[in-house]
Amino acid sequence: MSGSSPPDRLAKATSHTASMHAGGESDEQVVPAKRPNNQDPTWAEGVEGSCSTKGNTEEAHTHRTQGRERVSQGLRGVREAARRDKKQKFTALLHHGTVDLLRDSYHSLKRAAAPGVDGGTWQQYGEGLEERLSDLHDRVHRGAYRAQPSRRTYIPKADGRQRPLGIAALEDKIVQQAVVTVLNQIYEEDFLGFSYGFRPRRNQHNALDALAVGLRRRRVNWVLDLDVRGFLDNVSHEWLVKFVEHRVADRRILRLIQKWLKAGVSEDGEWQETKVGTPQGSVMTP
């Protein structure tokens, strides 16, 4: 519009008590831009995101709120331990995967998301939700839970190529979101302050704001713009698990991750094994 100019990123970024040069510490102060209003601090910023709970009954809302408080208290202890000891390996994480956390995970998923190989939708799973979540919780903790293959679909890229996506079954999304929530308590204490990719309450706009501050306040001689081509399609399962094992020693959590990595993909009704890579579009992949 004439007579106006886009908001200045430096002014926008410095209007908050933040710094992108916070010594590499991973805390809330390193986010210079306004955080999204629709994201819960304990949820992962993944493909599913979070959604409004309008239309639910007051009783159900109260039930979930009380459950979320219990979940947060338990996970707060994990985060505090991760903050105190950067080398601690966590051996008992799965017990935080309660029915309450599974319920929160279910409600954080997009209601209109495309179904996976099971054809199940968010609305269908919500019929008899408590019984379904109780059964899912039991199977996960008994080791009887089985990951289903992701449904392969494609979306066009700007260069004309096709980007493969893997759409997980709804139950897999729920369990993945719960595990992401638990693991975030550890890794959010490990990540560097200037890391923005796929993190709770952070997005590309936050990164651009921080970059604007850095370019204008520090002497910058060059900028490196790097993209690892096909990384998610080729990541080594073995090395991925080895890296997770630096902090996670709960064999049950590790087995869940391996189940999702090995579940394969289904394309045109045919199952394909996945020896490398992790499905793009998965709740767990980031």
Q: 125 pLDDT exceeds 90?
A: yes
Q: How far is CA 137 from CA 18, 105, 120, 213, in A?
A: 40, 12, 18, 46
Average pLDDT over residues 109-116: 94
Q: How far is CA 118 from CA 84, 114, 147, 174, in A?
A: 42, 11, 11, 14
Phi then psi for 271, rounded to 5 degrees? -80, 140
Higher pLDDT, 231 or 60: 231
Q: What pLDDT score was predicted for residue 7?
A: 57
Q: 94 pLDDT exceeds 80?
A: yes
Q: Helix, strand, or coil here: 266?
A: strand
CA dist., res. 173 & res. 112, Å (int): 14
Average pLDDT over residues 245-262: 97
Cβ atoms of 33 and 206 closer than 8 Å: yes
Q: 5 pLDDT exceeds 60?
A: no
Q: 69 pLDDT exceeds 90?
A: no
Cβ atoms of 152 and 266 closer than 8 Å: yes
* Strand extents, DSSP E, 63-186: 150-156, 162-167
How many C-beta neighbours within 10 Å does residue 273 have?
Answer: 9
How many C-beta neighbours within 10 Å does residue 55 have?
Answer: 5
Give the pTM. Answer: 0.76
How many C-beta neighbours within 10 Å does residue 177 have?
Answer: 24
CA dist., res. 194 & res. 210, Å (int): 8
Predicted confidence (pLDDT) per residue in 156-185, tens digit = 888 888 888 899 999 999 999 999 999 999
Cβ atoms of 12 and 31 closer than 8 Å: no
Query: Which pair of structure tokens corresponds to residue 254?
Result: 């590790």
Average pLDDT over residues 237-259: 97
Burial (0-12, 13-18, 19+ Cβ within 10 Å), 246: exposed
Average pLDDT over residues 209-218: 91
The percentage of residues in the chain with a pLDDT greater than 90, rounded to a whole number, is 59
Q: What pLDDT score was predicted for residue 232?
A: 87
Q: How far is CA 112 from CA 49, 105, 121, 224, in A?
A: 12, 15, 8, 38
Higher pLDDT, 220 or 12: 220
Residue 143's pLDDT band, with cuts at 50, 70 and 90, is very high
Higher pLDDT, 216 or 36: 216
Q: 55 pLDDT exceeds 50?
A: no
Residue type at 90 in one-letter notation: F
Q: 71 pLDDT exceeds 90?
A: no
Most confident of 12-21, 22-31, 225-234: 225-234
Q: 112 pLDDT exceeds 50?
A: yes
Residue 64's pLDDT band, with cuts at 50, 70 and 90, is low
Rg over CA atoms, the chain:
20
Q: What pLDDT score was predicted for residue 47?
A: 31
Q: 224 pLDDT exceeds 50?
A: yes
CA dist., res. 172 & res. 271, Å (int): 17
Burial (0-12, 13-18, 19+ Cβ within 10 Å), 65: exposed
Q: 240 pLDDT exceeds 50?
A: yes
Residue 279's pLDDT band, with cuts at 50, 70 and 90, is confident
Q: How far is CA 62 from CA 52, 65, 68, 81, 157, in A?
A: 15, 5, 10, 29, 43
Q: How far is CA 171 from CA 20, 22, 150, in A?
A: 38, 39, 12
Q: What pLDDT score was predicted for residue 65?
A: 54
* 3-state DSSP of 11-37: HHHHCCCCCCCCCCCCCHHHCCCCCCC
